[in-house]
Every structure is written in C-alpha cells, then in structure tokens.
Amino acid sequence: MTSNGASQHPSIDIQHVLALGVLVNLPGPTTEKLEATSVQYDISSSYQRLLIRMNNTGTQLLHPFGSLQVHDTSGHLLQDWSLKLDTFIPQTSIDYPLYIQHKSLSPGTYTAMLNLSYEHHHTLNFTTTFTVPSQNQSIPHAISAFFRPTSTNIFDLFTPWYWIAAVIALVILCGGVFFWGQKLYNLSTRLQTKRKQRMKRRS
C-alpha cells in the first residue's frame, strides 16, 4: 500500500494468488482440533490491525466461522467482526489479520473475545488481552477511514453500470407491456368481430 504525498490519497496494489490444496486420506484416527494462542496488535502495519494466532493441531481440514469482539477496560464494545475463514489445513498455523474499523483504538489495554464454530459442532472460545502501545508519531488510521462516501447524495453512490442496467430493465418492461397489450387488443377485436357475426346470423 502506497500513498501520494501531494494528495494524501492511498493507492492499493492488489495481487491475486491461486492456491490449490491436496487432501490425502491416510489410515489412523481422525481429530478435529482448533486452538487460539494470542491476539496481538500489529505495530508494523500502516493501518491499525490485530493478528489472531491460530493452530489447526488436528488431522482434518477445518472451516471456522464466528466472531471476534474487542472491549475496553470498562467493558464497552468497540469492535465486532463476523468471521468466516477459508479452509484451514491440518498441522499449520496462521496469524489471521483483522483491520480496526471506523475508529482507531487509543493506546491502552483491551480485551479480545474470540468465538468460533467448526466441523461437527466443535467450538473455540478464547479470551485474552492485548495492548496498543504509545507511539511518538500519530496513531495509525482505521482502515475504513479512507473509504467513506464522498457525497451524501444517494444517487452518487450508483455507478454508470447501475444506470445502464436500470435503463435496459425499463426497456424490457415497456416492451413486454406493449407486446402483451397488443396481444390482448387483437384478441378483444377478434372476439368482438365474432360476436357481431353471430348476431347478424341470428337476425
């Protein structure tokens, strides 16, 4: 992530990486075990974020989901993430990153509460504390600080593609109404003609 010194607007470089997993079934007992060992504040990041240290100590692929909450020393809820991790390979560890959103955390100590569920109704409940250190420079921004809408006009939030799709949908709708209107009109005309012919024959 880089920043332009003149405009102070960040630019983000995105890399797409494809990883293919291979599962080999071997004889022996199967275990599903997920462990969390720490939640740490990442002092090396340009934006405030936490690193959740987790280990898959079992023998099976896991797909954890749940939440992480951050509270201050008074118990106030400051951050609340919904988590859905991708495939977690057995006998591996990860430092799962979570960026602080909306409002930066001030220097101090906080409580992190991690609650995850995974295969066969297993759960992981982990509570720990972490510290945001005091820094000489300004506190790093929360990641969402640079992605606020620049306009309060709701119509400015739609891209040109939304308007194109809306026009196409409107044209299709009008075409359908016209088509079926013509069908009904022609049917009504034929029925009226047949009715008049029957009345003439009776007279």
Residue with tokens 């029957």: 198
Given a contact cutoff of 8 angstroms between Cβ atoms, the answer to whether 144 and 104 are in contact is no
Sequence-distant (≥ 6) Cβ neighbours of residue 172 within 8 angstroms: none
DSSP letters, 66-112, are: EEEEEE-TT--EEEEEEEE---B-TTEEEEEEEE--SSPPPSEEEEE
For residue 118, pLDDT beyond 80? yes
What angle is formed at CA 129 by the lines to CA 125 and CA 134, rounded to 5 degrees?
A: 155
Contact 145, 165 (CB under 8 A): no
Q: What does each C-alpha distance from 121 to 33, 49, 64, 93 come to in angstroms?
A: 12, 29, 11, 21
pLDDT at 159: 58
- Is residue 198 pLDDT above 80, yes or no? no
Question: In this structure, are strands 77-84 and 49-56 parallel, antiparallel, or unpaired?
Answer: unpaired
**Which amino acid appears at position 95 of this protein?**
D
Highest average pLDDT, of 8-22, 30-44, 146-160, comes from 30-44
Instruction: Give CA–CA dist 43/129, Å, rounded.
Output: 16
pTM over 0.75: no
Are 54 and 36 a contacting pair, CB within 8 Å? Answer: yes
pLDDT tens sequence across 29-50: 889 999 999 999 999 888 899 9
